[in-house]
Amino acid sequence: MLNNIGPAGLLLIAVVVLVLFGRGKIAGLMGEVGKGITSFKRGINEGDKQLKDETEDDIADVPQPRVKTKDEV
């Protein structure tokens, strides 16, 4: 259904939305969308960092095998 909308159709939709809501309301909405995207990206990065830190801590907790020297063999 949306495959049939061309550039002219998108322009018409944009004009109708602009007339219905006004420029100020759309600008405010886009600002909120931008803040949401920024917050989402920040959350993803913090989650990745936390996962990496936990993985490094888990690796550090694993005991390393002891290498025998010639005298111990």
Asked if residue 67 has pLDDT above 80, the reply is no
Mean of per-residue pLDDT scores for the chain: 85
> How do residues 15-26 score in pLDDT, each as one tens digit?
998 888 888 888
Would you say the C-alpha torsion 22, 25, 28, 33 has a positive or negative sign?
A: negative
Nearest 10 degrees: CA dihedral of 6, 9, 14, 20?
-160
- Please tell me the predicted confidence (pLDDT) of residue 73: 59
Q: Can you give the residue ranges of every domain in the chain?
A: 14-55
What is the pTM for the complete model shown?
Answer: 0.53
